[in-house]
Amino acid sequence: MKTVYDFMAKDRKGNDVSLADYRGKVLLIVNTATGCGFTPHYEPLEAMYKEMRDQGLEILDFPCNQFANQAPEDDEGIHTFCTMKFGTEFPQFKKIDVNGETADPLFAYLATEKPFEGFGKGLKMAALSKFADMNNKKFGDKAYIKWNFTKFLVNREGQVIARFEPTVDMKEVREAVAAAL
């Protein structure tokens, strides 16, 4: 059975990293952007990382510019923004695509394991859904991720156990991470 440990990624400097290096850890894998309305998620993510990394949590940050051009900087610019504004210390990888023909295989796998089930209810969620649908039309059946700050929770065996859309309250994400630890 395939797990996240079967994938490689490039760190922000372009070096290959095997996700098997994270074997035995609980992972929260996130596609991010510096200019998104959800960018403040970096703050609770970093707080969670500082509190739970000694228990085995790793947060893996994958910047992506496929959603309304909200991460236009290069890898170093993104890293500088995140460390200066939010004090992030968790691993940040090279900017990738998460949708379409150029989608990173890791994100295609994650989204296949835990497909999109909606942004939730309410006017704000409906508006985001409509905007995301327009943005993702160009990716067709390869629109794996609907928006920035989609989070995938992976257990210590490398299996994807939950998907959290950016509209999910970060307290709920934190509770799920704590339970997985």
Looking up residue 69, the CATH number of its domain turns out to be: 3.40.30.10
The catalytic site residues sit at: 36
Q: Which residues of 21-48 are buried (b: 16+ CB within 10 A; e: fewer)?
A: ebeebbbbbbbbbbebebbebbeebbeb
Question: Model confidence at 145, in pLDDT bands (50, 70, 90)?
Answer: very high
Domain count, the chain: 1
Kindly report which listed range (15-29, 39-53, 108-122, 150-164) carries the lowest average pLDDT score.
108-122
pLDDT at 122 (0 to 100): 77
% residues pLDDT > 90 (the chain): 82
Spell out where 23-149 has E strands.
26-32, 57-63
Domain that holds residue 42: 4-180
pTM score of the predicted model:
0.95
147-157 residue pLDDT tens: 999 999 999 99
33-53 residue pLDDT tens: 999 989 999 999 999 999 999
